[in-house]
Amino acid sequence: MASDTVLIQARGLVKRFGDFTAVDGIDVDVRAGEAFGFLGPNGAGKSSTMRMIGCVSPPTGGELQIMGMDPRRDGPAIRARLGVCPQSDNLDPELTVQENLTTYARYFGIPRRVARERAAELLNFVQLAERAGSRVEPLSGGMKRRVTIARALVNEPDIVLLDEPTTGLDPQARHLVWERLFRLKQQGVTLVLTTHYMDEAEQLCDRLVVMDGGRIVAEGAPRTLIERYSTREVVELRFAADNQEDFAGKLVGLGERIEVLPDRVLLYVGDGDAAVSAVHARALTPASVLVRRSSLEDVFLHLTGRTLVD
């Protein structure tokens, strides 16, 4: 359960690389016990933000406080209380699964016996107990990701940072990782994650920010954002033609908003079935019709004019 205690506070946070501004003055509050998401397309500045929070990349400007400490001054003390799951797995391929955890535990000064016990518990938690003695190298991508998550928990962190925890995994592996993250959240661990999977963000995150071009373009609970920036339902229409734009013109007046994508037209409405009847009443014959609930993808499209999935 989220409390009012703010664990991460950023004000006007900036990250520049030379002349290029990757993070352009963002304000963020992450509260204890919540799952907080940074959402956005590639290059939005999510990883750069995470790396500043993880105290591996110093802010260029603005204020950042983590558990009341300043990353510029208190990096080691902050890192001791963080668990980090970076975008690409950086496990030691030469070591076994268990050794990856126990070796990592040594950086935190955790006694050997405690480290072994904890490694066993955590491998159980990520459902890899039977692979404890295997070398990391032959494991599947999903298994490696779960080992990385287990390793991030070895120091019993107050905050776990996960940069794209499910990117590159097949749907089943993704589901397994996501399900474990739900468990962690239920245990009261504060999760901060980046993703461009809108469905996952919608289910897991208590609150999130949508980033684009280094800025925050919206902030709130997933449902609130959807209610604020979209309609209840969306009708997706595909027309058998190269140019969907021609058809979009014929839909004017049928919805609150129309978005034209290269391969389909989205009609934003309160009642999808009624809108489909109205489309047919105009003697339009789309090749396919899909009625669905609005999602964060629609919020993103509305705010940025672009889809999130490349």
Q: Which residues lie near ligand ATP (CB under 6 A)? A: 17, 20, 22, 40, 42-48
Question: Would you say 60 or 134 has its CB closer to ligand ATP?
Answer: 60
> For residues 65 and 87, which CB has a smaller minimum distance to ligand ATP in the complex?
87
Min dist CB 246 to ligand ATP, Å, is: 35
Q: How far is the CB of 44 from ligand ATP (least distance, A)?
A: 4
CA distances from 128 to 71, 100, 122, 156, 167 (A): 34, 13, 9, 18, 20
* Cα–Cα dist 232/275, whole Å: 12
CB of 213 to ligand ATP, least distance (A): 9
- Taking the complex as a whole, how short is the minimal distance between the CB of residue 172 and ligand ATP, in angstroms? 22
* Cβ proximity to ligand ATP, 75 vs 213, nearer residue: 213
Select 212 or 298, whichever has its Cβ closest to ligand ATP.
212
Residue 42 C-beta: closest distance to ligand ATP, Å: 4
Burial of 72 (0-12, 13-18, 19+ CB in 10 A): exposed
Q: Which is nearer to ligand ATP, 18 or 133 (CB)?
A: 18
Nearest Cα residue to 184 out of 136, 102, 122, 141: 122
Q: How many residues does the chain have?
A: 310
